[in-house]
Amino acid sequence: MRQLELRNLTIRYGETTIIRDLSLSIKNGEIVSLLGPSGAGKTTILKTIAGLLQPAGGQIFINSISVNHLPAEKRDAVLIFQKPLLFPFLNVAQNIGFGLKMQKMARREAERKIDRILEITELAGLNSRKIHQLSGGQQQRVALARGLVLEPAILLLDEPLSNLDAELRLQMRELIYTVQRQTETTMLFVTHDQSEALAISDRVCLLLDGGLRQTGSPEELFYSPADPEVARFFGCDNIFSSSDSFTQQAGNFHTDQKLFTIRPEDVEIFSDQKEPTSPRHAFEGTVTGMIFEGRLTRLTVSVTEKEHVTVLCRRPAFHIGQTVWLRMPKDRIHFFP
């Protein structure tokens, strides 16, 4: 059964069309991330699914039922906002129980559910804490618990990690992942952070220019981008054409396809022509740029005046101006379809 299906969803804001003809379906128990640059309309899509905004066109199905005309409170979808938005006049348990109270669930049953969800989200014992006594990470977890406890057909998460610092972000990411596996809640997760999307999701949908550019497993999007723009989004600016002068040297591609890409970390770099195991396809270049990024260093190697190859490597022993040899392993090269 399909938990969520969007058919030709179009969303306008005033005169501008933000999302055009977007179609997407999410299966039961799946965790899908909607990835895109800031301002791409990701939050708008979530709000539309949740029923807080009206689409200009298209259909939204939740549990195979069209929900276009259902108000937000009647849809079996819960949106968790970027900010925790915990009600300041309620304590932790009351905040989590808010939705259950709306469903008029019996008190004992509600308490049991609240306790269980507090356990899962590692908040046990904080039932009667006031909101302002919680840390940022705890607040975000309460917000997550408040959605999870309702066991909606689909949980919509709007950048739930963006307000947290780096370490908390990792913990929260882990937590969302484990909680999702435990509760088997179907989730649609919005983020602008590719590493978040890749780490957490079964499938990634890349949103560019108001439409889905590519949908697939994290590995597919990362290693087999559909077009140069997708590749660039994932931090790969090695886009070359097989007609480029140096590519003749780099290997005999025997193909009609023109554009190809290779991940910067897949390019091999040597200080001596004799070093590569198959020196046949090595080609020469000069290091013209070097940025230390921590774990890896980003090198820009100019092959000709206009052609540059980006290389990511660990602890490079090169300096700017040095002549180096590059090799592009054939199995790492991806031709755009």
Partner 1 sequence: MRGKTLLLCVLVSVTLPFLPLLLWSVADKWFYPALFPQAFGTRAWSYVFTTAGSQILDGLFTSFSLALMTTIVSLLLGVPAGRALGLYDFPGKKLTMLFLTLPIIVPPLSVSMGLHLWFIRLELAETFFGIVLIHLTFCLPYTIFVIRGVFSNYNPDFEAQARSLGAPPLTVIFRVMFPVILPGIIVAALFSFLLSWSQYLSTLIIGGGKMLTLPILLFSLIGSGDRPVAAAVSLVFILPAFLALLGSAHYLGRTGLKGIR
Nearer to partner 1, 51 or 316 (CB): 51
As measured in angstroms, the least distance from the Cβ of 185 to partner 1 is 15
Minimum distance between the CB of residue 201 and partner 1, rounded to whole angstroms? Answer: 22
Distance CA 269, CA 313 (A): 8
Question: Is there binding between residue 15 and partner 1 (CB under 8 A)?
Answer: no
Q: How far is CA 229 from the centre of its chain?
A: 16
CB 253 within 8 Å of CB 242: yes
* Site track 60-89 with partner 1 (rule: CB under 8 A), x = hit: -----------xxxx--xxx-x-x-x-xxx
Cβ 98 to partner 1, closest distance in Å? 5
Per-residue contact string for residues 136-175; x = within reach of partner 1 by CB under 8 A: ----------xx--x-------------------------
Residue 259 dihedral angles phi and psi, to the nearest 5°: -85, 140
- 50, 172, 197, 221: which one binds partner 1 (CB under 8 A): 50
Chain positions 252 to 311 lying near partner 1, rule: CB under 8 A, are none
Residues pairing with 131 in the sheet: none
Task: Tell me how crowded residue 315 is: count the other CB atoms within 10 A of its CB.
Answer: 8
Single out the residue of 52, 65, 124, 320 in contact with partner 1 (rule: CB under 8 A). Answer: 52
Beta carbon of residue 51, minimum distance to partner 1 (angstroms, whole number): 8
Candidate list 12, 63, 70, 98; residue touching partner 1; CB under 8 A: 98
303-312 contacts: CB < 8 A, separation 24 or more?
303/246, 304/245, 304/246, 307/240, 307/244, 307/245, 307/246, 309/238, 309/267, 309/285, 310/236, 310/237, 310/238, 310/264, 310/267, 311/264, 311/265, 311/267, 311/269, 312/263, 312/264, 312/265, 312/267
Stretch near partner 1 under the rule CB under 8 A, chosen from 97-105, 175-183, 202-210, 234-242: 97-105
14 near partner 1, rule: CB under 8 A: no
Q: Does 99 bind partner 1 (CB under 8 A)?
A: yes
Got the DSSP string for 108-144? HHHHHHHHHHHHHTT-TT-TT-BGGGS-HHHHHHHHH
Which residues are at the interface with partner 1 (CB under 8 A)?
47, 50-52, 71-74, 77-79, 81, 83, 85, 87-89, 98-99, 102-103, 132, 146-147, 150
